[in-house]
Amino acid sequence: MYGTVWHDGHFKPYEGAHAPIFSHSICYASSVYEGIRAYEGKIFELEAHLKRLRRSADIFHHSLPYDDQTLKGVAEQLLRTNNLPDGYVKVQIYYGDEDTGFSGRGCTSHILISAIPKPKFPHTKPFSLAKADWRRPSAQCHPYTAKTSSTYALSFLSFRKRPDWADDVLFTSEEDVISESSGANVFFVRGTQLYTPKIDMCLDGITRRVVREQIARHAGIETFETDIHWDDVSSFDGCFLCGTAVEIREVSRIGEHFFMACPQVELIAQIYNQIVRTPHTGG
């Protein structure tokens, strides 16, 4: 179904890769992962993804006994074997079932790498975002520095409950400060400036870094990390989501506020589409 995968050091058909039903990660949300995109056979920002994977693995006490060169070789091989030059590489690290208690002592870490077709979005029109019906816990209550399955419990619950008109949800803190969508970071545009929430309550997104450090700098756009209150949304000219899967996705509506088409977002999306296909930006 998903072609060839690499499981604990071996290439095998997806159907032959199994995780135990008592996997600590299934029971207690202790897996960490990365979703990485390839464009025309070049893996985009692989080093940054592997760096974040190691940080996530450390936070969740996983062992990862493979060096970056090995993981890179595996990812490239899977893209070739599965014939997916524009594929999506998923790297998952999860625990086995040696301990059925939550502390997971003695559980061994396992790794699965797959290359699957890139996620398809139903349309290319701008997204409408509703406020998520769950609030994001503060940085003291959730390990945002890890890309972990536990983050996605709230994404799943809120996304499923979004109103019919909404393509995605936007999370806020209990104080109504905006954090991110169910699976992407958010930027707001005002004139020639970009504003994005601080990363204490959202993922330190790699696309977000690319926007700040490569695109905005290159385009002479200033960026600011700051608290953005839900009530401040109407003070901006435009908005977009960014992430490996959604890439740069313009937002035309947040709650009851509608944005006009924003030329700055179009420019950022254009530059992004160019740099993902530029060989030297690949990891």
The contact set with ligand PMP (CB under 6 A) reads: 35, 151, 180, 183-185, 202-203, 205-208, 243-244
Min. distance of Cβ 49 from ligand PMP in angstroms? 7
Closer of 194 and 203 to ligand PMP (Cβ): 203
Min. distance of Cβ 56 from ligand PMP in angstroms? 11
Compute the distance between CA of residue 93 and CA of residue 86 in angstroms, rounded to an integer: 23
The 10 Å Cβ neighbour count of residue 276 is 20
Beta strand spans in 46-161 (E): 87-95, 109-117, 127-131
**Exposed, middle or buried, 175 (CB in 10 Å: 0-12/13-18/19+)?**
exposed
Q: What are the φ and ψ backbone dihedral angles of 227, each rounded to 5 degrees?
A: -75, 130
Closer of 189 and 201 to ligand PMP (Cβ): 201
The answer to whether the beta carbons of residues 24 and 107 sit under 8 Å apart is: yes
Q: What's at 66, amino acid-wise?
A: Y
Closer of 75 and 107 to ligand PMP (Cβ): 75
Closer of 78 and 170 to ligand PMP (Cβ): 170
Closer of 97 and 269 to ligand PMP (Cβ): 269
Compute the distance between CA of residue 236 and CA of residue 137 in angstroms, rounded to an integer: 25
Report the phi/psi class of residue 29: left, alpha or beta, with left for phi > 0 and alpha for psi in -120 to 50.
Answer: left
Using N-to-C axis directions, what is the helix angle for 46-59 and 68-81, rounded to 10°? 120
Min. distance of Cβ 185 from ligand PMP in angstroms? 5
Min. distance of Cβ 283 from ligand PMP in angstroms? 12
Quick one: which of 156, 160, 157, 205 has its CA closest to 179? 205
Closer of 104 and 181 to ligand PMP (Cβ): 181
Min. distance of Cβ 103 from ligand PMP in angstroms? 26
Closer of 46 and 107 to ligand PMP (Cβ): 46
Min. distance of Cβ 47 from ligand PMP in angstroms? 13
Min. distance of Cβ 258 from ligand PMP in angstroms? 24
The residue written with tokens 């999306």 in the block is: 269
